[in-house]
Amino acid sequence: MSRPLLTVILAAGKGTRMRSARPKVLHRIAGRSMLGHVLALAGEAGSDRLAVVVGPGMDGVREEALAAAPGATVFVQEAQLGTADAVRTARAAIAAHTGDLMVLFADTPLITAATIGKLRAELDRGAAVAVLGFEAREPGSYGRLVTDRDGALVAIREAKDASPAELQIRLCNSGVMAFRLDQPLAVLDGIGNANAKGEFYLTDAIEIVRAEGCRAGVVVCEEDEVLGVNAKGELAQAEAIWQRRARGRAMAGGVTLIAPETVWLSFDTVLGEDVLIEPNVFFGPRVTVGDGAEIKANSYLEGARVGPGARVGPFARLRPGAVLGRDVHVGNFVEVKNVAMGDGAKANHLSYLGDGSIGAKANIGAGTIFCNYDGFFKHKTEIGEGAFVGSNTALVAPVKVGAGAYIGSGSVITRDVAADALALERSAQDERPGWAQKFRAAMARRKAARTA
Ligand code: UD1
Ligand code: CA
């Protein structure tokens, strides 16, 4: 597989059936756009050059492509005249390239790099074109792979152009094709539009190369891998397939999932060995969990780093910038955002910890709030190592609490607290001996007078 590879990704479709203001290929699966998934696949499959074909006015798609793959070239297909026309739009990239050419659809996001590897291996075996096919449960509108008695690929027939006999074929075209041609543009330019749809079909390339005496090969994969997304229902189906695979990979890597089907992972979730994940946990993008950590039921994590041995939840929310050290405990109804918690620090109940830092072994009492926002700016709260913050404390940022300091419960802390000091902010307790007894007696007399 030493020949350089140019991958052309088709993304010009409007995706009308998504019923969305957002271009189809920007809809996400596991936190990453479909286009992002396909660009990642092209990279994993060893592409040396990438071209993305978008529709007119799809600036968002262009930006997403360049953000995910800065070296990619974006081409605009002015009118959607068919898949062959779409590939020809990337003419400049194809002309400048010597090597193999692969075509992927940006709305077909579940193909694996292993399958692409098989397609390239088919080129290595001497095929001029290799097509990714699958046995369709319902062949419907898919192109049919027409083979001869020896199983060699003769043609791809679009459903609208197929004979009744051809429509019986269940082996269908996924749309993914790889070419090993000296003159790919000559083949592409030879494709016309004399067919039922009046479109330029990329699939016509098969008959053209065969007429030149070259071989066309087929690689067959599971139907799940080539699911195309055209509507929201298929988007959810693709998400489900992706999640099933990712859970399987996590478990194979040593993660314990008590109820795998209730755990939602992101494309980039990193889970260490012996991580335990209880039911109903959601991972947004950019989460890393260290070995042996436990994520308890009903927790929501995004942009967070959880250290080894840490315990999160149940019902915890870790937002971007939450960095939990080793053995940190974050308990129920605690929200952590942009706060680093040192090793062994604890916040077990009902707190908002936003913008700041918490030293190792510090203890944050129930109901502690970092008051980080004054309506205009965000400010930091810094808690020193081993400090003890009493329950129901409001820390009005910017503020620092020194190492080992104590904060009395119910305090509103507006000034820095020195190390090892006690800070207390509440009025003195007033106590009246016997008051309750006298009050009850007076009330009993009043009640008796009314009912008399
Ligand atoms: C295509 C295949 C069909 C295959 C099916 C698999 C052709 C002629 N047919 O049919 O054999 O079974 O995919 O799903 O290739 N696109 C553009 N510009 C265009 C036309 C299409 O960018 O002018 C993009 C679309 O956005 C889409 C992809 O190419 O991502 C496929 O196009 P689509 O029109 O959906 O092709 P099908 O008719 O489904
Ligand atoms: Ca399609």
* pLDDT tens readout for residues 128-180: 999 999 999 999 999 999 999 888 899 999 999 999 999 999 999 999 999 99
Catalytic status, residue 349: yes
Q: How far is the CA of 25 from the centre of ligand 1 (A)?
A: 13
Q: How far is the CA of 168 from the centre of ligand 2 (A)?
A: 20
d(CA 391, CA 349): 9
**381 — pLDDT class (breaks 50, 70, 90):** very high
Q: C-alpha 50: how far from its chain's center? A: 22
Q: Which residues contact 228 (CB under 8 A, 6 or more apart)?
A: 105, 107, 108, 175, 234
d(CA 119, CA 189): 23
Mutate-to-test residue for ligand 1 from 33, 77, 83, 129, highest number of ligand atoms within 8 A of CB: 83
pLDDT at residue 452, as a whole number: 81
CA separation (Å) from 55 to 74, 106, 117, 237? 10, 12, 29, 25
pLDDT at residue 356, as a whole number: 98
Q: Which atom of ligand 1 is nearest to the CA of 158?
A: 11
The Cβ-side half-sphere exposure at 286, using a 13 Å CA radius, reads 9
Sign of CA dihedral 140, 141, 142, 147: positive
Indicate the Cα dihedral angle 235, 237, 238, 241, nearest 10°.
160
Q: Which atom of ligand 1 is nearest to the CA of 228?
A: 14
Check if 336 has its Cβ closer than 6 Å to any atom of ligand 1: no
Please name the residue whose Cα sits nearest to atom 25 of ligand 1: 13
Is 46's pLDDT higher than 90?
yes
Check if 89 has its Cβ closer than 6 Å to any atom of ligand 1: no
Tell me the pTM: 0.94
Q: How far is the CA of 86 from the centre of ligand 2 (A)?
A: 14
Sign of CA dihedral 443, 447, 450, 452: negative
Check if 139 has its Cβ closer than 6 Å to any atom of ligand 1: no
Tell how strand 129-135 and strand 49-54 pair up.
unpaired
Closest ligand to residue 174's CA: 1
Indicate which residue of 27, 97, 329, 349 is catalytic: 349
Check if 370 has its Cβ closer than 6 Å to any atom of ligand 1: no
pLDDT at residue 1, as a whole number: 54
Q: Give the residue-averaged pLDDT of 363-373.
A: 98
